Structure 1
Amino acid sequence: MKVCYLIQSHINSEQIYRLIDIIKISSPEAEIIVSHNFSGCELDVKTLQKSGIQVLRGKGGRGDFVLLQSYLNAIKWLIDNQINYDWLIYLSGQDYPIKPISNIENYLAETSYDGFIEYFKIFSPESHWSIKEAKSRYLFRYKKINSLTKLPNWGKKVLTPIKIINYLQPFVRINLAYDMLGVRSLSLLSEDFVFYGGSFFTTLSRKCVEHVHQFCQSHPEVVEYYKGVCVADESFIQTILVNSGLFNLCKDNKRYYDFSQTRNGRPATLTTKDYNAIVQSEAHFARKFDMCKDKIILDLLDKEIGKVVSDS
């Protein structure tokens, strides 16, 4: 049984190397792909490739289809290069394992599930979002507003009252969190197409991954529709896999994060104060961490999962 780890990253090369290192040391036969946005920071590609790490150039961004496209590009690379693997674990460069990698991989070898992916019907009472938010995300066609992207945070705060327009009419949406402007869609997908939502962070069997790829090839109209929505990555994979009815999916994606006191879809940065809650979790990975703010939490986790990091 072989696991492929897909890491999408953009900042803090030292932390990216640390994540790669703990995976490679714990699972030498694992396949590791790094889809990296080089506008955030540089990586030593030659050294990584000598270690068997595949580095792909990805684009960063929030809200639009760009992040999801990088994920799909990595899947295509796996298929085109006939890479042998059984499971694909998707991580960001700010994720970290909170269980021993060997335990995670043994769990996947023995499970009867085909995938671990959070999902819910977004236009139903079970949704984790309000109906208003779901409609605003997926029933409008969005474009990035470049002028907003360049504004500092204080500038966006000044503009926050303009969002009142979202409550006064049903045709236009302004999303300052993702710097996007949306217009109500005039062409929806078929009536029997059910939208599902959930976290983009997943652990999927190879047959799930290949189904997503094949679906994209045979249903370009769905891909095109999602290219115009807001936060496509929190619906696209779920919608394809759950609608297929082909897979035994666990709704637990085995990730730990804390959204309890955050806004705009960003989880809290985890620190040493979160240690007990993290290790008591049944999750396999946690996010997000920032070594520039708290390196000790990763040192503690290394000891928890059986690897002591050398001072060197």
Structure 2
Amino acid sequence: MIGRKANVGGFLNPSWMRKNMNSHSGRMFSDRKWIVPFFASLLISVTLLLTATLGLFIPSQSDEPLPLDAVSFVKEEDSSGFFIEPELRSSLKETNGVVKMEPPRLAYLISGTKGDSRRMMRTLQAVYHPRNQYVLHMDLEAPPRERLELTNLVKADSTFNEVENVRVMAQSNLVTYKGPTMIACTLQAISILLKESLDWDWFINLSASDYPLMTQDDLLHVFSNLTRNFNFIEHSQIAGWKLSHRAKPIIIDPGLYLSKKSELAWTTQRRSLPTSFKLFTGSAWVMLTRSFVEYCILGWDNLPRTILMYYTNFLSSPEGYFHTVICNNDEFRHTAVSHDLHYIAWDNPPKQHPLSLTMKDFDKMVNSNAPFARKFAKDDSVLDKIDKELLGRTSRFSPGGWCIGSSEGGADPCSVRGNDSVFTPGLGAGRLQQLLHSLLSEEILKKQCT
């Protein structure tokens, strides 16, 4: 009966509260036996609180600078302010009382189409490292036998089987490279990488016509020194002719609805520019942090989904989606570094189509200090020159510190796998270090998302 009177429809009954408070308040305050234990417990609580607070803010007498070899990848001359930052604390691990930095891990998407299975394998082997994660996707234009060939090539590799860090996407998507289907495929690959591995730090997308200009040991060694909150994404605000040619037209990508590739369809209607966010454009090739791509997938403030819906009917959406999301978010916009880490030779004018790279471009590629280049024709002789002179690749993989087998008699040194956190960087590491120092200068960073 008391319970029914006190609780009406899940809420306290006000009349019951007033009646019972009046009847018990006099009795409670007339009994003063509770006062002594109350103040005793209060005094003890305050004492403990003050002790804990002072303990947090009084520096320990044992706090000494870390020895130079405590973080194995740090160089004393790295004083730009962008190397070994507090953001890396989540990557620090304590072993026997010495704090050591955990080297980064990369997650790659390598995509291709009809006739690209062998090229995809060559690119995969050139960028392979046991620390990393790899997803391969052949679009629906490739015949089933070629997708099966790629799957069998991966399954037949003993290293891939042992490490289990290479996956071929079972679902082949129809990809229209100027439409939103490419973004949809990229987001699906990112979702797979997020689900399958918890450890990687950056996402990189490559195509079968891309190729590295330095080893993964070079790349991982240099990025071990870098704070893990920078997103490398070439970007600029849409202006000029691109506003009328790309932002205002409404296109339909049949790849979203059909099973056969066809050209984009243009509608006769045009739309006004959005007012709730600014439009940005840039290179479709990116190196994005795990935290940013998680935001794009989860979209806890709904901005990524809103922008994704907008780019569903946008020409060349792979050159605008990630760029617009990152530059309209206060948390991430200051992490955007305007470079795609590629060397690309463009036609001139109007710089809309990349030229195929050949032997005559070799020196320019090396001098760019970029870790990747595109695009290359299938089995062009310049790829062999890159393998020999830049990657030191004589067998399956570009060799690194993890390859501890013998190379005598043409044997594969990577057939015996050692510690994957031991790197043997070469000249490529020095080139990449120069590039990052120029990209992370204060003058350059002030121009982020402008």
TM-score band, normalised by shorter chain: 0.7 to 0.9
1:48 and 2:154 aligned = yes
| TM-score between both structures, scaled by the size of structure 2 | 0.55
Deviates more, 1:51-60 or 1:228-237: 51-60
- How far apart in 2 are the matches of 1:225 and 1:79? 25
- Aligned to 1:240, what secondary structure does the other structure show? helix
Distance 1:150 1:206, change over 3 A: closer
Please show how residues 137-156 of structure 1 align to structure 2 within 5 Å: 137-144=246-253
- How far apart in 1 are the matches of 2:261 and 2:152? 33
Instruction: Give 1:13's aligned residue.
Output: 117
- How far apart in 1 are the matches of 2:310 and 2:261? 27
1:305 and 2:390 aligned = yes
Distance 1:93 1:263, change over 3 A: farther
Equivalent position to 2:137, from 30, 35, 56: 35
For residues 217-273 of structure 1, the C-alpha deviation after alignment (integer angstroms, 9 at most, x for no partner) is: 834332221101111110100010111132322112211101134768331111111
> What displacement does 1:46 show?
3.8
- How far apart in 1 are the matches of 2:392 and 2:119? 16
Query: Which fold has the larger relative contact order, with Cα–Cα distance below 8 Å and residues 6 or more apart in sequence?
Result: 1
> What displacement does 1:304 show?
2.6
- Aligned to 1:197, what secondary structure does the other structure show? strand
- Aligned to 1:213, what secondary structure does the other structure show? helix
- How far apart in 2 are the matches of 1:271 and 1:9? 20
Letter of the 2:208 counterpart: G
- Aligned to 1:110, what secondary structure does the other structure show? coil
Instruction: Give 1:201's aligned residue.
Output: 285
- How far apart in 1 are the matches of 2:371 and 2:236? 21
- Aligned to 2:352, what secondary structure does the other structure show? coil
> What displacement does 1:34 show?
0.8
* Aligned residue pairs, count: 272
Letter of the 1:289 counterpart: F
Cα RMSD of the aligned pairs, angstroms, is 2.7
> What displacement does 1:36 show?
1.5
Letter of the 1:54 counterpart: R
Instruction: Give 1:116's aligned residue.
Output: 232
Q: Is the 8 A contact 2:133 2:193 kept in 1?
A: no
Structure 1 stretches of 4+ with a deviation exceeding 6 A read none
1:246 and 2:331 aligned = yes
Q: Is the 8 A contact 2:246 2:314 kept in 1?
A: yes
Deviates more, 1:35-44 or 1:213-222: 213-222
Instruction: Give 2:187's aligned residue.
Output: 72
Q: Is the 8 A contact 2:286 2:340 kept in 1?
A: yes
**Bigger Rg, structure 1 or 2:** 2
Letter of the 1:242 counterpart: C
- Aligned to 2:328, what secondary structure does the other structure show? helix
For residues 152-187 of structure 1, the C-alpha deviation after alignment (integer angstroms, 9 at most, x for no partner) is: xxxxxxxxxxxxxxxxxxxxxxxxxx6441444446
- How far apart in 2 are the matches of 1:280 and 1:264? 21
Instruction: Give 2:241's aligned residue.
Output: 132
- How far apart in 1 are the matches of 2:235 and 2:217? 27
- How far apart in 1 are the matches of 2:330 and 2:371? 26
Q: Is the 8 A contact 2:347 2:353 kept in 1?
A: no
Instruction: Give 1:268's aligned residue.
Output: 355
- Aligned to 2:224, what secondary structure does the other structure show? helix
Q: Is the 8 A contact 1:96 1:286 kept in 2?
A: yes
- Aligned to 2:252, what secondary structure does the other structure show? strand
Instruction: Give 2:127's aligned residue.
Output: 23
- Aligned to 2:339, what secondary structure does the other structure show? coil
Instruction: Give 2:14's aligned residue.
Output: none
Instruction: Give 1:221's aligned residue.
Output: 306
- Aligned to 1:35, what secondary structure does the other structure show? strand
Q: Is the 8 A contact 2:346 2:354 kept in 1?
A: yes
- How far apart in 1 are the matches of 2:371 and 2:132? 16
Distance 1:71 1:251, change over 3 A: same
Segments of structure 2 that go 5 or more residues without pairing to the other structure are 1-103, 397-409, 411-450
Instruction: Give 1:169's aligned residue.
Output: none
Q: Is the 8 A contact 1:144 1:181 kept in 2?
A: no
Distance 1:279 1:232, change over 3 A: same
Q: Is the 8 A contact 2:174 2:261 kept in 1?
A: no
| TM-score between both structures, scaled by the size of structure 1 | 0.78
Identical counterparts, % of pairs: 23
Letter of the 2:105 counterpart: K
For residues 36-70 of structure 1, the C-alpha deviation after alignment (integer angstroms, 9 at most, x for no partner) is: 21423513314425623211123222321111110
- How far apart in 2 are the matches of 1:35 and 1:188? 34
Q: Is the 8 A contact 1:116 1:204 kept in 2?
A: yes
Instruction: Give 1:102's aligned residue.
Output: 217
For residues 253-298 of structure 1, the C-alpha deviation after alignment (integer angstroms, 9 at most, x for no partner) is: 2111011347683311111111111111121100011125x2x111
For residues 22-43 of structure 1, the C-alpha deviation after alignment (integer angstroms, 9 at most, x for no partner) is: 222xx22211111221423513
Letter of the 1:6 counterpart: L
- Aligned to 1:305, what secondary structure does the other structure show? helix
Letter of the 1:105 counterpart: L
Distance 1:136 1:274, change over 3 A: same
- How far apart in 2 are the matches of 1:79 and 1:150? 29
Deviates more, 1:113-122 or 1:194-203: 113-122
Instruction: Give 1:166's aligned residue.
Output: none
